[in-house]
Chains A and B, each alone.
Chain A
């Protein structure tokens, strides 16, 4: 029992540290890749090739004044960034990043927890992420923030539905809710080949869930200044920023786990395969951000409700036909 607790704590610490580092360097990669796609150079001043830029950014944000505007709801104002970050991290307790390895004759599973209803847990935490945004918008005592928070809520709730439905097709095909078992079911054939429509719907909703372009309405700079984090500065802003990037990693990791075969791949390098697939997904996020223009709010809503939900439902029905009847 004691050993299990120690093991989980160590794994948790490693995951948090790796995620923090990965999120920090994602900001750097994003800036460089965006710059390249706009025929610019991007950050290249701090350290060799600008590689120390995230550290400089982090130090700058840490040393900022802890500023709080007048008439904000103090408790909620300080709580919101924490909620965002914690819900972003929580998804990673379930993601298996590799098989089981032997360490000092003791089998170590490369995931923190194997919840038998893993997907439900993931959906629950991605829904909770909305609280960070809406509470930040509400507590800031700023109209733009409030608008951003409201947009975030509406968007995330309406895109949660097609996301859930598209994940249900995977659950049906695999016949289980547990993530390690879903990965085992994809040993021979990834679900992206058997279920491409579900994958596409998941990717689109993932963009909306993480508030990334072209669905970045809650923080639309041109209309809402910064949206829900307008009134946040310093480390509180950095926490929102980290949460956004950890969220991107989380939805990428979920996509890899559910559709791209998790850590399976040729050769005996499971963790590396997982990291490569997630990196490819993160690149897709940045690539799309460099290309797509932001949707208008009504377009966003009608796309979610009139296009994605019917397609996802039809896909669910077709999948259930093939899994239950035609098998």
Chain B
């Protein structure tokens, strides 16, 4: 071990004091959250959306691949057959009920990767909060985008 003299130890203590003082005049890195928000990268994974085709039909065909791949088992899909009178999607089936438990979801994005039609996507909205557990189980009405393209996904894109 290198032996340092007492004098240099004392000097280094004073240098430490002035380094701290110098940092006192730096600009704080704090982001005052509700007023200022961090600019998130464009591929940040936030809450889910169920997207629609350009003609207003749902992309989801009720295949349940997202529910199968989900590592935290947060997704519940109840598929049903499309009938000529009651046609929801381009495929044979559609999701009659689709629930995601946002408290269980770990935002890994596997559901997005697994989806064969590009129906489920993770948006950038990461401010998800609620007063009850029930309010954070997102139902199909809450997950489906109002108009094609609302979620930021191009409704003309194939997958």
Contacts and interface: CB of A to CB of B under 8 A. Distances in A.
B16 interface: yes
A14 interface: no
B130 interface: no
A33 B24 CA distance: 7
A306 interface: no
Contact of B30 (A33, A40, A287, A292): A40
A38 B20 CA distance: 8
Contacts of B29: 39-40
Interface in B1-52: 13, 16-17, 19-21, 23-30, 32
Contacts of B30: 39-41
B17 to A, nearest CB: 5
B9 to A, nearest CB: 12
A41 B28 CA distance: 6
Interface in A271-306: 287-288, 290-292
Select the residue from B24, B25, B32 with max chain A CB neighbours within 10 A.
B24
A36 B24 contact: yes
A56 interface: no
B17 A37 contact: no
B28 A37 contact: no
Contacts of A287: 17, 20-21
B32 A38 contact: no
Interface string A21-44: 000000000000101111111001
Contacts of B32: 41, 44
Interface in A33-89: 33, 35-41, 44
Contact of B28 (A33, A36, A291, A292): A36
Nearest to B26: A39
Interface string A182-226: 000000000000000000000000000000000000000000000
Given A36-B25, A41-B30, A291-B17, 19 more contacts: A36-B28, A37-B20, A37-B23, A37-B24, A39-B23, A39-B26, A39-B27, A39-B28, A39-B30, A40-B29, A40-B30, A41-B32, A287-B21, A288-B17, A290-B24, A291-B16, A291-B19, A291-B20, A292-B13
Interface of B: 13, 16-17, 19-21, 23-30, 32
